[in-house]
């Protein structure tokens, strides 16, 4: 098992939701000017599948960004059909991104159904936060990713292109074989991650393809696609562009 913490000051990202017909050209551009992801596969060493379980409260406080729930996401991530999973927390504060993840065998997912926390388990920190914050599994999102990187004066910059997003509701901490409903209907998510200033190589990409930034949360998009979401006052908030693109 591996437990890692990462703190990135001045961590920035720009998201774009673009037509899937543009994706091949963007991918070709990225393969021309950027290096392959060190963990990628395929002929260009930059592709892999991702399945992620997301957790939220009974009243979907994470979805609605209610108070402190709006700053952190708790998720379990699996790459392809690997027998390993990663228990992750992504916490964002002004000017700072803090990520923590622990790797374990996929069988460890069963531990999350237990209300008793095992302090000797490397993933106990993740389990404890689920219990304390009353978080439960609510959604699985799957997609195919192309990832490329570049070294800049401010550090490593990363481009990801996520296609074929699908989402399904879940009520237990396990991966579902059914990927569920299509999320973006002919569109893909492009993300550029960097430190402090937009690297020149990314500025060229944005200019060449006339890209317009658009805030988009995969979790909220997935929940909207998979059905209605209760508002905090108990009413139903049906999936909509305004609710998901926030």
Residue pLDDT, tens place only, 131-143: 999 999 999 999 9
What pLDDT does residue 3 have?
74
Q: Which CATH architecture has domain 2-244?
A: Alpha-Beta Barrel (3.20)
> What's the rounded Cα separation, in Å, for the pair 87 and 76?
5
Contact 40, 46 (CB under 8 A): yes
pLDDT digits (tens, 9 = 90+) for 59-86: 999 999 999 999 999 999 999 999 999 9
Query: Is the pLDDT at 245 greater than 60, yes or no?
Result: no
DSSP string, 45-60: T-EEEEEEEEEE-TT-
Q: Would you list the domain boundaries of the chain?
A: 2-244
List all residues 6 or more positions away from 43 whose beta carbon is below 8 Å from its beta carbon: none
Q: How far is CA 224 from CA 178, 187, 212, in A?
A: 17, 15, 22
Structure tokens of 149? 């990187």
Structure tokens of 115? 């209300």
What pLDDT does residue 204 have?
97
Q: Give the model's confidence band at 241: pLDDT under 50 very low, under 70 low, under 90 confident, else very high.
A: very low
């Amino acid at each position: 098992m591996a437990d890692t913490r990462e703190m990135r000051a001045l961590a920035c990202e720009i998201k774009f939701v673009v037509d899937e017909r543009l994706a091949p050209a963007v991918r070709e551009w990225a393969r021309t000017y950027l290096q392959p992801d060190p963990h990628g596969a395929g002929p260009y060493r930059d592709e892999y599948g991702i399945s992620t379980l997301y957790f939220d409260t009974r009243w979907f406080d994470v979805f609605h960004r209610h108070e402190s729930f709006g700053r952190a996401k708790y998720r379990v991530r699996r790459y392809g059909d690997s027998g390993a999973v990663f228990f992750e927390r992504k916490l964002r504060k002004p000017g700072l991104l803090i990520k923590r993840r622990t790797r374990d065998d996929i069988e460890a997912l069963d531990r999350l159904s237990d209300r008793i926390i095992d302090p000797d388990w490397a993933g106990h920190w993740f389990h404890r936060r689920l219990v304390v914050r009353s978080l439960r599994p609510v959604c699985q999102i799957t997609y195919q990713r192309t990832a490329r990187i570049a070294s800049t004066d401010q550090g490593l910059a990363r481009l990801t292109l996520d296609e074929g997003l699908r989402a399904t509701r879940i009520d237990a901490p396990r991966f579902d074989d059914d990927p569920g409903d299509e999320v973006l209907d002919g569109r893909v998510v492009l993300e550029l991650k960097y430190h402090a200033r937009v690297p020149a190589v990314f500025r060229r990409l944005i200019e060449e393809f006339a890209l317009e930034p658009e805030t988009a949360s995969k979790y909220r998009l997935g929940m909207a696609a998979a059905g209605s979401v209760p508002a905090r006052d108990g009413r139903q908030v049906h999936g909509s562009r305004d609710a998901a693109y926030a």
